[in-house]
A and B are shown apart, each in its own frame.
Chain A
């Protein structure tokens, strides 16, 4: 019983991280159809954003204020990743719309350069971000099962991001403009929407969320220049499994992969578990090739 609860909790925790990473992809890949392989590097940027915030807090502010750095770090990570994402869209991505495979290769190149840049600025070894003291310890639900506050905090943070994204996409004017552009670009332009501005803003938001994900990852372990590559493929699998273009698909995909990954790894071992998850995904795609929640369309070559 205890072990089941803690395994499921572990699964949820892995899912929440996957979801946070995949949320950004759901925007850039799901809505804009750009395969952003540099997404992992935006995670890295966010993580180093948190690291820099910590260092600044440590060197300039009194010790008593140090614990307050984390909320600030989340904001800083978002803003930095947002800005770099905006820059990337304006300089490169806009030439790649409608060429998903080319966008994949080009952004892979961007990712390589960003990684190398991080290596030259921060050095190749991993750096540690010490988490604030109010996240130490855990909640004991019954004897033997402790839910660490850090993991709970990440789950909460992801839920918050999810709600914010939902409100932004489906309930705000900017979100409505975004959906309009993604559904029918020409019509949206005719109705007076600046499609260029929407494009850059959308991409930047996707990148910004990756920044938050990076910030959250600092709670789990040390960070390094290639931290993003570890998660990126899993996150893409989440989007593919969940189906493109709908938030609920991303949530379901992340939950599916996260929970099953944990369970399979528990039943077999880490390497076989991954293989089983992959086989399950391929098997699932036999049944629903477009993922769990595909946007229905009648067009053939959408």
Chain B
């Protein structure tokens, strides 16, 4: 490469990241309210995508249940907002359902710190429990994936069914304030956006630290050969559980932020379709690369907002086709495509410093 003659690649990457971060932080200065809100949603999804990538791209476990973790985080935050907005009265939907007293598990959500903590801890613990009961028994690959999908179905049914406690199909909505400030004001919106950027950066750094560390090496080893890793003396199930829990915690964090941007949470947000769309974010960007997950999330969320509004019918065809094209022709996603192009340009095929096949495992565990 020409550029590498002047500066090493690391420095270029660092400059790139710095520019991207600066662009994100200064976005409130040059973006309209609508655009800023959209970007904030993209970034929230980017956090989920990071977590999913850690799990799928690096550990080789495909979870179709991240909508649940996302949703649990969202509900935790929404419960707090709902309580704050209702003041001393009972939240309206409980009133309609005939409850006279606030349920005990709603009580502590009056505290923001508790809600924010629970938004991460509940998904992580749920993932840990589910992981404990599956990975330890070496239920993996597609079996695990199907179980996560079942988790989505039952959680959605539960949330819809327990209307008095969860708001049912309508979910929780109608929040107005937070910390005493109106959520509708421009300063609040900018603040929430900036918090999202910080959360994304921290999540990115966390994931980067994890994948660069020894832990990340073991994760990749599990992805490429679970039994070999086991025979080398590692316990894959505890690593898988840890990756799953971190991933779920990140999804919960994203869910909390997402609620702040959209002002509503409902069971549809954690149903099967959003869950699988989250996976697509990672697949499009490029699994097994953290920046790929972020790129995929930003591009896809933007595209969805543009296309699904103007061509709702066409959008679903497009989405379906995208699933097929990405899995069959572009297993490395956008980042993989860029790498491929760069390899072609520089014609350094014989040097195996970038081996595309090592990014995407041919088969993920089973079969």
Which A108-143 residues sit within 8 Å CB-CB of chain B?
108-113, 115-116, 119-120
Let me know if A104 and B283 touch, CB within 8 A: no
Task: Collect the chain A residues with CB atoms within 8 Å of residue B367's CB.
Answer: 33, 98-100, 302
Task: Collect the chain A residues with CB atoms within 8 Å of residue B227's CB.
Answer: 300-301
Let me know if B317 and A240 touch, CB within 8 A: no
Q: Is B133 at the interface (CB under 8 A from chain A)?
A: yes
Knowing A98-B363, A278-B154 touch, does A237 contact B146 (C-beta < 8 A)?
yes
Which A266-302 residues sit within 8 Å CB-CB of chain B?
269-272, 274-275, 278, 281-282, 285-286, 289, 300-302
Let me know if A233 and B153 touch, CB within 8 A: yes
**What is the distance, in angstroms, from A235's C-beta to the closest C-beta of chain B?**
10
**What is the distance, in angstroms, from A252's C-beta to the closest C-beta of chain B?**
17
Let me know if A112 and B319 touch, CB within 8 A: yes
Kindly identify which residue among A229, A286, A300, A301 contacts B272, using a CB–CB cutoff of 8 Å. Answer: A229
Task: Collect the chain B residues with CB atoms within 8 Å of residue A115's CB.
Answer: 316
* Docked complex Cα distance between A301 and B139 (Å): 12
Knowing A105-B327, A109-B324 touch, does A282 contact B362 (C-beta < 8 A)?
no
Q: Is B364 at the interface (CB under 8 A from chain A)?
A: yes
Give the segment of B12-20, B158-166, B340-348 that binds chain A.
B158-166
Let me know if A275 and B158 touch, CB within 8 A: yes
* Docked complex Cα distance between A70 and B182 (Å): 61
Let me know if B145 and A92 touch, CB within 8 A: no
Let me know if B151 and A113 touch, CB within 8 A: no
**What is the distance, in angstroms, from B75's C-beta to the closest C-beta of chain A?**
16
Knowing A272-B158, A274-B157 touch, does A109 contact B322 (C-beta < 8 A)?
yes
Q: Is A236 at the interface (CB under 8 A from chain B)?
A: yes
Task: Collect the chain A residues with CB atoms within 8 Å of residue B138's CB.
Answer: 289
Q: Is A56 at the interface (CB under 8 A from chain B)?
A: no
Let me know if A113 and B321 touch, CB within 8 A: yes
Task: Collect the chain A residues with CB atoms within 8 Å of residue B364's CB.
Answer: 99-102
Let me know if A274 and B154 touch, CB within 8 A: yes
Task: Collect the chain B residues with CB atoms within 8 Å of residue A113's CB.
Answer: 316-317, 320-321
Q: How many residues of B contact A (CB 8 A)?
A: 50
Q: What secondary structure prevails in chain A residues at the interface with B?
A: helix
Knowing A100-B366, A269-B161 touch, does A285 contact B139 (C-beta < 8 A)?
yes
The 0/1 profile, CB within 8 Å of A marked 1, for residues 318-338 of chain B is: 011111101110010000000
Residue of B nearest to A283 (CB): B133
Q: What is the number of contacts between chain A and chain B, taking CB atoms within 8 Å?
A: 137
Knowing A233-B149, A278-B151 touch, does A105 contact B280 (C-beta < 8 A)?
yes
Q: Is B276 at the interface (CB under 8 A from chain A)?
A: yes
Q: Is A248 at the interface (CB under 8 A from chain B)?
A: no
Task: Collect the chain B residues with CB atoms within 8 Å of residue A96's CB.
Answer: 327-328
Kindly identify which residue among A108, A229, A234, A240 contacts B147, using a CB–CB cutoff of 8 Å. Answer: A240
Q: Is A106 at the interface (CB under 8 A from chain B)?
A: yes
Q: Is A95 at the interface (CB under 8 A from chain B)?
A: yes
* Docked complex Cα distance between A119 and B328 (Å): 26
Residue of A nearest to B367 (CB): A33
Q: Is B353 at the interface (CB under 8 A from chain A)?
A: no
Knowing A109-B323, A116-B317 touch, does A237 contact B150 (C-beta < 8 A)?
yes
Q: Is A35 at the interface (CB under 8 A from chain B)?
A: yes
Kindly identify which residue among A101, A105, A237 contacts B141, using a CB–CB cutoff of 8 Å. Answer: A101
* Docked complex Cα distance between A108 and B147 (Å): 16
Q: Is B313 at the interface (CB under 8 A from chain A)?
A: yes
* Docked complex Cα distance between A98 and B364 (Å): 9
Knowing A99-B364, A229-B272, A272-B161 touch, does A119 contact B313 (C-beta < 8 A)?
yes
**What is the distance, in angstroms, from A156's C-beta to the closest C-beta of chain B?**
29
Kindly identify which residue among A105, A116, A270, A271 contacts B283, using a CB–CB cutoff of 8 Å. Answer: A105
The 0/1 profile, CB within 8 Å of B marked 1, for residues 5-36 of chain A is: 00000000000000000000000010001010
Q: Is B106 at the interface (CB under 8 A from chain A)?
A: no
Q: Is B357 at the interface (CB under 8 A from chain A)?
A: no
Q: Is B279 at the interface (CB under 8 A from chain A)?
A: yes
Task: Collect the chain B residues with CB atoms within 8 Å of residue A275's CB.
Answer: 154, 157-158
Let me know if B313 and A116 touch, CB within 8 A: yes
Task: Collect the chain A residues with CB atoms within 8 Å of residue B321's CB.
Answer: 109, 113
Let me know if A240 and B146 touch, CB within 8 A: yes
Residue of B nearest to A279 (CB): B154
The 0/1 profile, CB within 8 Å of B marked 1, for residues 74-86 of chain A is: 0000000000000
**What is the distance, in angstroms, from A249's C-beta to the closest C-beta of chain B?**
13
Let me know if A289 and B139 touch, CB within 8 A: yes
Most buried by A among B151, B317, B331: B317
Interchain residue pairs with CB less than 8 A apart (7): A95-B328, A113-B320, A115-B316, A116-B313, A236-B150, A274-B154, A302-B366
